Amino acid sequence: MVRIAVYGKGGIGKSTTVSNLSAALAERGIRVMQIGCDPKADSTALLRGGEPMKTVLELVRERGNAFELGDMIREGFGGVVCAEAGGPSPGTGCAGRGIIAALEKLKEKGAYEIAKPEVVFYDVLGDVVCGGFTMPMRPGYAQHVFVVTSGENMSIHAAANIAVAVEGFGNRGYADFAGLILNRRNVKNEEEKVEELARDIGSKIVGTLSRSDTVLEAEERGKTVIEAFPESEMAAEYRALADRVIEAAGGIG
């Protein structure tokens, strides 16, 4: 089982990217699980046609421990197993602690043994790299960390912070930093800026995605590009990126 955590600054297109990677692998018959670790709980929406689902933390608040794995997961496009950690009620609790509780509950309910995914994606907010937001990096969860970034200064800053966090945990058996994914915003000298970041953190750009209206059109339909426009150039870009991500993670099986 390949376990991958994808981080990135809010609004950078991280969840869209992860959902399209999941869809690209699923259409090949690979068993994929995607776990949203953002309090907004919208990571898997494009895989489920926008259909709402209960988050793990909502179930815990409503039922304590009186629920099963089937209450926490939904099947999305191509059979992708979808789960959303969720967050605390507004004004109460800590989102980071919520992620810890949600991931522990998924493991306790046998998520990996029952769903038997070949690839697991943890989709994690990257503006904060402390407490529970580092949970997916810890032993027993993700093995590899990728960061989605653009050439915008705040996005690069967030990516650098995540790289520092991963390096700081290096002697504890946490996930390794596997590379950057450039999601273009067409800012000045974008590729050069991200290449410089990669050199500074001793990493590489694993793949690049174009800025395209096709992505927005698919989102308006509540679908991934892979599902909505399977013959498009963007679908081909996501499929190619999926190959590079899996290769950088050491392959499947």
CB 180 within 8 A of CB 205: yes
Tell me, yes or no, if 71 is annotated catalytic: no
The per-residue DSSP string of 65-126 comes to T---HHHHEEE-GGG-EEEE---PPTTSS-HHHHHHHHHHHHHHTTHHHHH--SEEEEEEE-
CB 123 within 8 A of CB 18: yes
Which residue of the set 54, 109, 123, 127 is catalytic? 127
Which residue of the set 9, 54, 193, 223 is catalytic? 9
Tell me, yes or no, if 127 is annotated catalytic: yes
Distance CA 161, CA 142 (A): 18
Question: Which of 12, 27, 13, 15 lies closest to 228, judged by CA?
Answer: 27
Tell me, yes or no, if 9 is annotated catalytic: yes
Kind and range of the H or E element at 181? strand 176-183
**DSSP label at residue 204:** -
Residues linked to residue 83 through DSSP beta bridges, in sequence order: 35, 73
Residues linked to residue 34 through DSSP beta bridges, in sequence order: 82, 121
Residues linked to residue 125 through DSSP beta bridges, in sequence order: 8
Tell me, yes or no, if 116 is annotated catalytic: no
Q: Do strands 144-149 and 2-8 pair parallel, antiparallel, or not at all (unpaired)? A: parallel
Q: Coil, strand or helix: which one is 34?
A: strand
Q: What is the CA radius of gyration of the chain?
A: 17
Q: Which residues are catalytic?
A: 9, 14, 40, 127
